[in-house]
Amino acid sequence: MQLSIPILKRFFTIFFLALFLFVVIAGLTTRFTVQKKTIQAITIGTTTLHVALAITESEKQAGLSGLPSLPEDQAMLFVFGTSGRHGFWMKDMHFPIDIIWLDGQRMIVHIEANVHPDSYPQIFIPTRDALYVLETVAGFSEKEKIHVGDQVQFLD
């Protein structure tokens, strides 16, 4: 049995198109995986917190909601693609938190301290644009004397 030239051309076109799409998808997946594993902790002043990252839309929507509590040495870091006044609410939260907004230079630009679950549906919006948002246990900002203008360091 012999295959004709047009059939072979079609086969190779489909094969290389599928291979190209596989490489593109694998590259994007690897980029997001590497990005997720890049930041494992942050330091504010002398305090280091281990962070869970919220990068995808579903991760951002879920956030800390549904969790019973958050250990004092842990936090969630929301990573946005663009700077903006990203609003947060306490839907489905079971414990109070501090919400800390950071700009592209990782400087704190706004803090909402001790935000309670019963504040829902109120939306908390920073006074300046931010690229990152950090959620910590309630009282963290006061206990660690965190202020607008403080610098946050990301650790690998």
Provide the residue ranges of all domains of the chain, joining segments of one domain with +: 1-38, 39-155
Residues 6+ apart with CB under 8 A from 38: 154, 156
Q: Which amino acid is at 101?
A: W
Question: What's the pLDDT at 39?
Answer: 80
Question: What's the pLDDT at 93?
Answer: 96
Whether domain 39-155 has CATH 2.130.10.10: no
Question: What's the pLDDT at 153?
Answer: 96
Q: What is the pLDDT along the chain (156 residues), one digit of tens a residue?
A: 565 666 656 655 665 555 444 544 544 443 333 344 468 999 998 899 999 999 999 999 999 998 999 999 999 999 999 999 999 999 999 999 999 999 999 999 999 999 999 999 999 999 999 999 999 999 999 999 999 999 999 998
Q: Are strands 130-137 and 152-155 parallel, antiparallel or unpaired?
A: unpaired
Q: Edge-to-edge strand order for the sheet containing 152-155?
A: 108-115, 97-102, 130-137, 74-84, 47-54, 41-44, 152-155
Q: Assess whether the previous peptide bond of 121 is cis (omega < 30° from 0).
A: yes
Q: How far apart are CA 143 and CA 33, in angstroms?
A: 33
